[in-house]
Amino acid sequence: MMTTKNALIRGFLIATAAAGMFLGAPDFARAEMVNCVQFVKKVSAVSLRGNAYEWWDAASGTYARGHRPQSGAVMVFSKSHHLPFGHVALVQNQVDDRTVLIDHANWSRIGGHKGHVERSVRVVDVSQNNDWSQVRVWYAGLADVGNTIYNLRGFVYPNSPPAHVGKPIYLHAR
């Protein structure tokens, strides 16, 4: 049964998705509720275990790692006060030397809740040496790149291209 609160949240999500499509903001068209690790495991060609911050060390010897973004790579955020379990995201494509678009989950609060998948999210390298060691990430609540600077461990490169490229992704059983 749909309550008034659920109807309001659903209406907000639909309005946000429509605004995102028309204004070029990240795509919230699907309202999956998932954490970043679950999402990246589902959509990337990188399959690792553990909390997000552990993926950098876990990739050693299995996947190539580096400090330059590339399409299909997993961006691994360091553990911090703001990110006690770290964070992982899938690099969609590189826009310029200091900007990439990522797909990730469980970042912005949308409709008062985290756990949403966001697509085509802008991430900006703000490191002094242009080495992708520090970034700022687009946040839905601000409708812009946030002020918080996050440390990156680096990028884990897949051994093969992601299987989902160009295909819709469904995280829930139908």
Q: Which residues pair with 157 in a beta bridge?
A: 64
The mean pLDDT of the chain is 83
Q: Is the pLDDT reported for residue 111 higher than 80?
A: yes
User: What does the pLDDT look like over 73-97, one tens digit per residue?
Assistant: 999 999 999 999 999 999 999 999 9
Query: Binning pLDDT at 50, 70 and 90, where does residue 164 land?
Result: low
Task: Specify the pLDDT at position 160.
Answer: 57
Q: Is the pLDDT reported for residue 72 higher than 50?
A: yes
Task: Write down the pTM of the prediction.
Answer: 0.74
Single-letter amino acid code for the residue at 143: A
- Contact by Cβ (8 Å): 28, 106: no
Task: Residue 117: name the closest of 47, 17, 7 by CA.
Answer: 17
Taken in order of first residue, the domains within the chain and their CATH numbers are 4-157 (3.90.1720.10)
Which uninterrupted H or E stretch holds 19?
A: helix 4-23
SS3 call for 22: helix
